[in-house]
Structure 1
């Protein structure tokens, strides 16, 4: 019987490769981490990963395919996501311009829960995640082959062929979510470590997060309008 360890390791690499590149989810995780602490950042990442788990189940049930067949529904989801990103971008920018005085004081657990909800809702309206689970994600349990690193955002073409694995193993799915879990715990920890060393790190990260969220928010809204028209 083949060992599941290679598939598990490949899944971890796959999860890390998809979770690490810059994007709206990492922008929200970064903002929560520097403003509210490691726990808030990690729980925010858990919100995004929970959405991935929902998409995985929905893909198996055919729900994601249903959404893709109706452009109006997809456009509405993307439009809501764009509006939310612009709203969260405004909140992040306000914290920078107000000198971080607007950081909530209602307790760490409450702030972490807010971050979880933000990331979860944004992930559910993210067309990139919907497309991933519609095309690649649902095929992870079907027998075949997967060029893991070729799907890495931005640099996939340069990494194609470096790590090709067989799909159809539950260990690959387990490893995939483990990889995401490593990122959503390690990324906030790295940010907090840098924050302790650089006094101006918090406003820089918050400002960068605001710009990323605003950029993706505009892109999502344009995509939604074009689809509806």
Structure 2
């Protein structure tokens, strides 16, 4: 019986490689973490990961392929995502120029954490990059074959190609993939909170950066939706 440990570890690396690079999801996680605490940041990341789980199940049953097959449906989803990102960018910009140092506690913290979960979940469901990932690479994780894990790392994948090639078709690879994402969505908010305790102006900078990232991706998504519909 094959040893599942290599596939599990490869999945962890794959999950971390896809979750760590800058993007709209990490912008939302960062903004929630510095404004509302570690729990809110982790719950926000859980919202994005839950969307990945939905896409994974949907890809197995052909739902993701259905969305991609009908450009109007895909454009509508992307357009909604673009509008939401611009709206959340506005909220992050307000936090950047306001008081974001007071972290809620008790019932307030629980409500903020739930809000972050819903925000990331909806954004992830309308993210065309995640849809495309699960339509192509993601659905193939359980099919026998090979996967060049690091080649799919955003921005630097071409430089890392060939460094970690594993066999697909093992459930351990999927388990490791989601475990890697879990490590990121818990460790990233913790690192941000630690930095925030050491740097007084850290929260406004993170909120401002998050606003720019969300606004940029929001505009790109809206342009993509309009081009598809036109």
- Give the TM-score taking structure 1 as reference length: 0.98
Mapped to 1, the partners of 2:128 and 2:119 lie a distance apart of 16
| Secondary structure in structure 2 of the residue aligned to 1:194 | helix
On the 8 A contact 1:95/1:101 being kept in 2, the answer is: no
| Secondary structure in structure 2 of the residue aligned to 1:107 | helix
Give how far 1:97 is off. 2.0
The list of structure 1 runs, each at least 4 consecutive aligned residues, that deviate by more than 3 angstroms after superposition, is 99-106
Give how far 1:102 is off. 9.6
CA RMSD of aligned residues (A): 1.3
On the 8 A contact 1:28/1:119 being kept in 2, the answer is: yes
Aligned to 2:62: 62
Aligned to 1:152: 153
On the 8 A contact 2:34/2:100 being kept in 1, the answer is: no
Aligned to 2:178: 177
Mapped to 2, the partners of 1:170 and 1:222 lie a distance apart of 38
On the 8 A contact 1:44/1:115 being kept in 2, the answer is: yes
Mapped to 2, the partners of 1:224 and 1:20 lie a distance apart of 26
| Number of residues of Structure 1 aligned to a counterpart in Structure 2 | 229
Aligned to 1:195: 196
Mapped to 1, the partners of 2:183 and 2:53 lie a distance apart of 16
Give how far 1:96 is off. 1.7
Matches within 5 A, 1:72-151: 72-100=72-100, 107-151=108-152
On the 8 A contact 2:35/2:102 being kept in 1, the answer is: no
Change (3 A) 1:220 1:102: farther
Aligned to 1:218: 219
Mapped to 2, the partners of 1:7 and 1:101 lie a distance apart of 42
| Secondary structure in structure 1 of the residue aligned to 2:2 | coil
| Secondary structure in structure 2 of the residue aligned to 1:166 | strand
- For each residue in 1:29-59, what CA deviation from the matched residue of structure 2 results, as whole angstroms up to 9, or x when unmatched? 0000000000000000000000000000000
| Secondary structure in structure 2 of the residue aligned to 1:209 | helix
- For each residue in 1:73-119, what CA deviation from the matched residue of structure 2 results, as whole angstroms up to 9, or x when unmatched? 00000000000000000001011223338987861000000000000
Mapped to 2, the partners of 1:144 and 1:38 lie a distance apart of 39
Change (3 A) 1:174 1:101: closer
